[in-house]
Amino acid sequence: MYKSILFFLLILTSSSLLHSQFQLKVNNGTGSGTYSTGDTVHVWANTPNQMEVFTSWVGSGAEYLTLRDEWHTFLIVPEGEQPGNLEITAQYAILPKINYGMEKILLFREDSGRHETRRRAKKPVFYFIPPHPKAVVFLFHGTNGSGYSMAMGKYESGSIIKDLLHNGYACVMFSANEADFGDQNGDDKRRWKTRPFPMDSATNIDLKNLVLLEDQLRSKFHLDNLPFYAFGVSNGAVFSDLCAPYRGYRAVGHMVGNGSIRFHQYIGGELPTIWLMAENDHQANADSAIARTNYQAMLDRGIDAEWYLLEKSPVYASRFTRSLKGITADQSKKIAQTLKQEGYLTPDKYLNFDILEDKKDEISRTLIQQKIVTKTQSKEVIDQLKIVNADHGAHGDYNKRIIAFFDRYLTLSEVDAPLKDNSPLQIYPNPASTWIFLNQKSTIQQVNLFNLQGQLIHQWKGDRHQLNIFNIPSGTYILDVRSEAGKQSGPVVIE
Instruction: Determine the residue type at 484.
Output: E
Question: 3-class DSSP state for residue 105?
Answer: strand
pLDDT by residue for the chain (495 residues), tens only, comes to 555 544 444 444 444 455 699 999 999 999 999 999 999 999 999 999 989 999 999 999 999 999 999 999 999 999 988 888 999 999 999 998 899 999 999 999 887 655 554 468 889 999 999 999 999 999 999 999 999 999 999 999 999 999 999 999 999 999 999 999 888 888 888 999 987 766 678 889 999 999 999 989 988 888 878 999 999 999 999 899 888 888 889 999 999 988 766 665 555 457 899 999 999 999 888 999 988 988 888 888 888 999 999 999 999 999 999 999 999 999 999 999 999 999 999 999 999 999 999 999 999 999 999 999 999 999 999 999 999 999 999 999 999 999 999 999 886 544 443 333 334 456 767 777 777 777 666 678 888 888 776 678 888 887 767 788 878 888 887 788 887 767 777 778 887
Q: Single out the residue of 192, 224, 228, 227 nearest to residue 207, CA to CA.
A: 192
Q: What sign does the dihedral 125-131-132-136 (CA atoms) show?
A: negative
Question: 3-class DSSP state for residue 439?
Answer: coil
First to last CA, the chain: 66
Question: 3-class DSSP state for residue 145?
Answer: coil
Q: How far apart are CA 413 and CA 184, in angstroms?
A: 45
Q: How far apart are CA 492 and CA 469, in angstroms?
A: 11
Same fold, 99-311+397-407 and 414-494: no
CATH, range 99-311+397-407: 3.40.50.1820
pTM for the model stands at 0.80
* Count of residues making up the chain: 495
Domain spans, the chain: 2-92, 99-311+397-407, 319-326+339-388, 414-494
The fold adopted by the segment(s) 414-494 is Immunoglobulin-like (2.60.40)
**Beta bridge partner(s), residue 138:** 172, 230
Q: How far apart are CA 466 and CA 250, in angstroms?
A: 9
Question: 3-class DSSP state for residue 383?
Answer: helix
